[in-house]
Structure 1
């Protein structure tokens, strides 16, 4: 597993919120749904994204451009930065006017479609991951608050394909849309990293290091192995002290802490598989007992494995 594959192994949309918006200006949507990650893809027309906070300049999106917006901080998507908000999107995708009243002017326009004009000058697609567990924390930490990849940088058919599929109402359509959203996220992140290596996380850049790179590959590919810093150093032919010093310097954390976070990220996904138990997952990711996995999981995630699984399934 290479560095990017390891980073992107996390996106697992589960009945994600997906919406096609068709709008004529002026329009402005205030988003405060607290979602960990949202994609906005422009099919037609243009929009600006304005993050909260002083000094955050509006970022313009044109046809084919895709924005990744990391939550939970609020932001606004509008035809123009000066347009006052007309609708506020709350957690659970509840929509109100800015003063909390019922919406007028924005309405249902068909399957997963809403807006103020059936054939609006602007058409955009929104895909929202509801829970942290649907996108790995390592990926969320690797991304800035707002990523924009222009169509010229990622000329992929995925935006057009998602635009076609989002308005269809067929058996199993939610699963199709979830996977398309995951693919689009992966494609956009891959393209962004290719053009912004200086902003990539330390461990991603460290993959090219002759000492740390092989160590990262071993940890990613064999997480269940009983690793120690000494055994990892022996495997790649360097001293324990040299590996520990170089790994921490390039990645920003010790090897065993990195391994613990990687194991728990894998466990969080595996726990959602049908028939999975805490015991079976513990063995698969390198913990000798269910208790050991539960202890590590709660230390890093703040909840037990069973609580994590119950929360994700309840939300889905």
Structure 2
């Protein structure tokens, strides 16, 4: 059987092409129904990104060595480098290791966690994803340790706001096919969060990301990323970018 290799499409926007090359591979999606008091200690996942979407209630997240930060309903938080961190109902609550908490397996990629002390309720959709393409890995390496977007408090992010509400409804009802809807929407939200950071972060105005925005240099970098096996020379790149 002959395997067909699909060529990566060319984009007019080199930065957009790099986002396309993220190629997220979902490892695990979990709908967490948590009641105070509770705390979950998540281990490091090398080579992966973790994210949390707070669809109801609120919680605190603490990256090792950082001050705890409050996550309100509608918050989307990325932990781009897979660092170990804790999420809690309160900043002082004890945290139980993630793998010590029982879960209900819905499918190979989706599970439900119900845990806590029967107090105030918080619902969080959590995920661990991996990026297969070298360009995606390069982009992720430039992101901060924690990237927090409170989209429901920002009217300008109405599309993101609506998507989060859609995920919240699917997570609550979990109708047939609901886990598939959630996983695909969660992948889109990750890219949207990274785009939001690129648009506003000073770090995105220099280095590799700034080069991707340049009319000629960006096209040259995109060509290399698109066909890394090609024997690129300065002459070939000059011809490619005109």
Smaller-chain TM-score bracket: 0.7 to 0.9
Between the aligned partners of 1:41 and 1:223, the Cα distance in structure 2 is 35
Q: For 1:148 and 1:132, locate their aligned partners in 2 and report how far apart those are by CA, in whole Å.
A: 20
Provide the secondary structure at the position in 1 that maps to 2:126: strand
The runs of 5 or more residues in structure 1 that have no matched partner are 90-94, 97-102, 238-316
Contact kept, 8 Å, 2:37 with 2:117, in 1: the verdict is no
The answer on 1:232 being equivalent to 2:231 is no
Contact kept in structure 1, 2:55 and 2:164, CA below 8 Å = yes
Q: Greater relative contact order: 1 or 2 (C-alpha under 8 angstroms, separation 6 or more)?
A: 2
When you count strand as a share of all residues, which structure comes out higher? 2
User: Residue 185 in 1 paired to residue 190 in 2?
Assistant: yes
- 1:43 aligned partner: 55
Report the CA distance between 1:31 and its aligned residue: 0.4
2:218 matches 1:207: no
Are 2:69 and 1:66 equivalent residues in the alignment? Answer: no
State which structure, 1 or 2, has the greater radius of gyration over its C-alpha atoms.
Answer: 1
Q: Select 2:157's aligned residue among 139, 154, 166.
A: 154
Return the TM-score normalized by structure 2.
Answer: 0.74
Match of 1:24 among 14, 35, 58: 35
Answer whether contact 1:142 1:201 (CA < 8 A) is retained.
Answer: no
- Mapped to 2, the partners of 1:66 and 1:138 lie a distance apart of 22
Cα RMSD for the two superposed structures:
3.2
- CA displacement 1:214-256 (0-9 Å, x = unmatched): 423444566676531222135546xxxxxxxxxxxxxxxxxxx
1:5 shift after superposition? 2.1
> Are 2:39 and 2:93, in contact at CA under 8 Å, matched by a contact in 1?
yes
2:150 equivalent to 1:138 = no
Structure 2 counterparts to residues 82-161 of structure 1, below 5 A = 82-85=92-95, 87-89=96-98, 95-96=99-100, 112-116=112-116, 120-129=120-129, 131-133=130-132, 136-151=136-151, 152=154, 154-155=157-158, 156=160, 157-161=162-166
Cα gap change, 1:170/1:33 in structure 2, threshold over 3 Å: closer, same or farther? farther
Q: How far, CA to CA, are the matches of 1:160 and 1:126 in structure 2?
A: 15
Gaps of at least 5 residues in structure 2 are 1-10
User: What is the TM-score of this pair, normalised by structure 1?
Assistant: 0.59
- Contact 2:44/2:82 (8 A) holds in 1: yes
